Each structure stands twice: as C-alpha cells, then as structure tokens.
Amino acid sequence: MLVILAILGILMSMGIPIFVSVIHRTKMFGLINKTGSVYRLARSEAIKKRANAVVRYDFALRRIEVFADVNGAGIDDPPDGIYNPVGGEPPGRTDFWLGQFGLPAGIEVQAPGGQDSIDGFTTVDNGGNLEDVAIFLPDGSIAQIGALRLNDGRDNYFEVRVSPQATARIFTQKWNEVEGDWFEKGEDGNEWEWL
C-alpha cells in the first residue's frame, strides 16, 4: 500500500507543473482573446453608432476600458479621445460607456527590453496626463495604428495589434527573443514558444 501511495505521489508531483502550465497558458490566451474582442467591439460600435470609439488602458485601476467618444468637454466639441460625458445629455449626444475588464493577477501591461507597453495609437491629454488610446473612426478605420503589450510574469510577451490604418485589422503577436521581433503564430514558420 505504501509503495502504491509513493508511486501515486511521484506521478502527481510530475503532473502538477504541467497542469499549472496549462492553466497559466489558458489564462493568458483568454486575456489575449478578450482584449482582441474589446478592440473588435469598439470598431463595430464606431461603425454602428457613426461615432468614434476608444479603447484605453487605465494603469491606476489595471483595466481596459472602451467607450463611444461622441464629443469633447462640451456637447458641440469634436471627439477628443477622453471619456467626458456631458451631464444631462442622453447617450448618443454625448460620450457613453461600452464596457471594461480588469487584468488577472500576475499579468501586466508591459513590453520587453525598454519598448513601449502601448506602442503607437493616438496620444491625448487627459487632464494633464498624456495617454495613448486606440481611436476607431466611424468608417471602421483606426486613427493611428498601435498595439497593447502584455507580459505574463514568465517573460512571455504578447501584443494585440491594430494595423493597417484603413482596415484596422486586429491580431496577436508574440515576442521572439532570439529574432528580436514580434511574430504572429506560424508567421515565417515561427511557432510560439513558451518560457
């Protein structure tokens, strides 16, 4: 009986790291897919509502936010990339919230080797704080191409990129340390390797 328990203990200890790794990858893929979905939501809402839609990352609250950007600080101001609804005005005449979600524990908005964690997009002045936000235009294009980069805490870096400008294609790439570049899965024969 003790021998059987010892064998089961050894097998379980060998299987636990694999199980933890599978859970970790699943969590990361879930976040990547959710982030891509938020960009797709913003693009479709911009087209449907005929208004700019914005995706931004709030570093203080660790969450990705999406909203329709109908106006600036006043009802007659052009869209400004900032969530500043005009009180007393109905959604559609002023900015309105589309959704948000927080990052899971252990995952950060971060890039490898001194690169920007948010690469590109449009820079807006949000009350004296410069932010890079993705602005989707009513024709389905994006104001400026860019990417949001994520680190899983194990030196696996991913980016959800929006490019080219006219069609605003949304896709995921992983950082390849050996090549020193970002690659889509299978691009140029490169498969994603996990650290």
Does residue 146 lie within any of the structural domains?
A: yes
Residue 49 located in a structural domain:
yes
Please state which of the ranges 19-23, 71-75, 111-115, 177-181 shows the lowest mean pLDDT. Answer: 19-23
Each residue's pLDDT tens digit, 15-63: 666 777 777 788 888 899 999 999 999 999 999 999 999 999 999 999 9
The answer to whether residue 14 sits within a structural domain is yes
Report the domain count for the chain.
1
DSSP string, 96-149: EEEEEEEPPTT-EE--STT--SEEESEEEEETTEEEEEEEE-TTS-BSS-EEEE
Residue 195 falls inside a structural domain:
no
**80 part of a folded domain:** yes
Residue 126 is part of a domain; what is its CATH number? 3.55.40.10
In a domain, 58, yes or no: yes
Instruction: Give pLDDT, residue 172.
Output: 96
In a domain, 194, yes or no: no
Whole-number pLDDT of residue 15: 67
Q: Which domain holds residue 118?
A: 2-189
